[in-house]
Structure 1
Amino acid sequence: MTYSIIARSSDTGEIGIAVASRFFACGAIVPHIGARSAVATQAFVNPLWGTEGLSRLEAGESAQDVLADFVARDGGQHIRQCHTLDSLGRFAAHTGDDCVEWCGHLTGETHSVAGNMLAGPEVVRAAFDAYADASDLPLPDRLLHAMRAGEAAGGDKRGRQAAGLKIHSGEAYAILDLRADDHPDPLAEIGRLLDVSRERYVHVTQAFATSANFSGCTDRGPIDAAISAEEERRKAAGIPSRSQATENKDA
């Protein structure tokens, strides 16, 4: 019912997961990311593959060992699908024998793609190759580019409903977490939200606290300057805001 991609940027160290499905709120249950590792649990979802898996990967266990343990312990492993990235950058994946066709996965050095209930193997291959061919893009755009390629190749054979995009940047919390839970074109909606995030939100995230700096940046000056510069850039380029935010007329 789902296809997803996990990737780590060799340039920034960011880790990201993108997912799309004809299933409500897939972005809430599939992606699990930490400071150094990631899990995407899907098909007949077992959420513990995500929560326990991420905890163990963050503690240093290998992706292959964690998945092998889950397969051995879970009586439903034949209907599960999961792919993982461990703290040393190694990928591993499991597609159960009874996942709904078409189902399968591809893992590489920098990214992995897995899907089930798809139009065919070309969906996973298209997403995998599109990510590999778009090294010039920032990680969020690169993941979205890959997912769009998978959709163009057929995507979820039942249709479209939801998508998610989640990015971590070396911390336990997400630096970006976008979801379209019930939408006729969820990947397009994620693209819109990503564009809106760059108007103000991404500049604010530069001030977030980190494990190395508990206070983060407490000076609003650089944030306001960056937001103003982005507003001017968009104005000069004739790029309108795509935000749906409203103004309080009584303010």
Structure 2
Amino acid sequence: MTYSIVARDPATGHFGIAVASRFFAVGAVVPYMAGGVGAIASQAFISPLYGIDGMKMLQAGASAEEVVAAMTGRDAGSHSRQLHVMDAAGRSAAFTGEKCIDWAGHLIGEGVSVAGNMLAGARVLEATLETYLAHPEKDFTDRLLTAMEAGEAAGGDKRGRQSAALRVVRGEAYPWIDIRADDHPDPLAELRRLMAVAGERYLHVAETLPTSDNVSGMLDRSVIDLKIAELEAEREREGRSSASFATPPV
């Protein structure tokens, strides 16, 4: 009932997962990731432990193959589950249980994997992977969403659409961006809108957050505040309204 992409940006080492489904709040249960550690998508008849315990293994230095073998090998219900994993070195491994509902399967490419179940057909994953690989010039988040949109155009989840999510981590355990459309008639389009909203202010503020290398974060926000003000002024000059639904300041 879900298809997803797990990727590592070759230019930065950032990990990203995008997922879509005819299921409520798919972003709450599929993606697991941490900067410098790796990423896991657990789906089909979901076991959150695949993500939770699998991330612990990646943190301890296990490979993607070792995580897949360990998670499925201990689980009597693995026949109905699906996961794909990318480790810190960018190596991928995937598993699709034999009882996952057709069409179900996975594909692995250089620095990326795609997997899905209950899909319109194999072309969903083929289109997702082909499109991701065809656009190395795109910004990482745009590249992930463009790939997912190609999968949707190829049929996506055969039952329809309901939710989608996009999560990207940089060098930290917390996400750089983590957006979800939990119940929406066009969830991938909603993610596009949310990324536009994030670009107005949030992503600039995110640059000020503390990191493991700088636990105080950016103390002088003047550069960021100036950039946000410049973007707002540019929108006004061009007659463009904000992408946000936020109410105006009182």
Q: Could you tell me the TM-score, scaled by structure 1's length? A: 0.97
Q: Does 1:199 align with 2:200?
A: yes
1:126 maps to which residue?
127
Report the more deviating stretch, 7-16 or 200-209.
7-16
1:40 maps to which residue?
41
Alignment of 1:70-149 (within 5 A): 70-149=71-150
Letter in 1 for 2:64: A
- Check conservation: 2:67, 2:85, Cα contact below 8 A: no
2:175 maps to which residue?
174
Q: Secondary structure at the match of 2:230?
A: helix
1:24 maps to which residue?
24
2:9 maps to which residue?
9
Displacement after TM superposition at 1:101 (Å): 0.2
RMSD between aligned residues: 1.0
Q: Secondary structure at the match of 1:198?
A: helix
Structure 1 residues 220 and 236, CA, compared in 2 at 3 Å: closer, same or farther? same
Partners of 1:199 and 1:161 in 2: CA distance: 26
Taking every aligned residue pair, what percent have the same amino acid on both sides? 54
1:219 maps to which residue?
220
Displacement after TM superposition at 1:240 (Å): 2.3
Question: Where in structure 1 are there 5+ consecutive unaligned residues?
Answer: none
CA offset digits 1:109-145 (Å, max 9, x no partner): 1111000000000000000001111111111111000
Partners of 1:136 and 1:159 in 2: CA distance: 30
Letter in 1 for 2:140: L
Partners of 1:228 and 1:247 in 2: CA distance: 15
Question: Where in structure 2 are there 5+ consecutive unaligned residues?
Answer: none
CA offset digits 1:144-171 (Å, max 9, x no partner): 0000000000000000000000010111
- Check conservation: 1:169, 1:175, Cα contact below 8 A: yes
Partners of 1:170 and 1:33 in 2: CA distance: 11
Q: Secondary structure at the match of 2:103?
A: coil
Partners of 2:139 and 2:53 in 1: CA distance: 29
Partners of 1:106 and 1:239 in 2: CA distance: 40
Partners of 1:190 and 1:220 in 2: CA distance: 27
CA offset digits 1:39-86 (Å, max 9, x no partner): 000000000000110121122100101111112100001000000000
CA offset digits 1:26-47 (Å, max 9, x no partner): 0110000111200000000000
Letter in 2 for 1:18: A
Displacement after TM superposition at 1:237 (Å): 4.1
- Check conservation: 1:22, 1:162, Cα contact below 8 A: yes
Letter in 2 for 1:165: L
- Check conservation: 2:14, 2:168, Cα contact below 8 A: yes
Displacement after TM superposition at 1:12 (Å): 1.9
Q: Secondary structure at the match of 1:127?
A: helix
Q: Secondary structure at the match of 2:95?
A: strand
Partners of 2:3 and 2:128 in 1: CA distance: 9
- Check conservation: 1:35, 1:58, Cα contact below 8 A: no
Partners of 2:45 and 2:139 in 1: CA distance: 31
Aligned length: 249
Partners of 1:54 and 1:75 in 2: CA distance: 20
Displacement after TM superposition at 1:235 (Å): 3.3
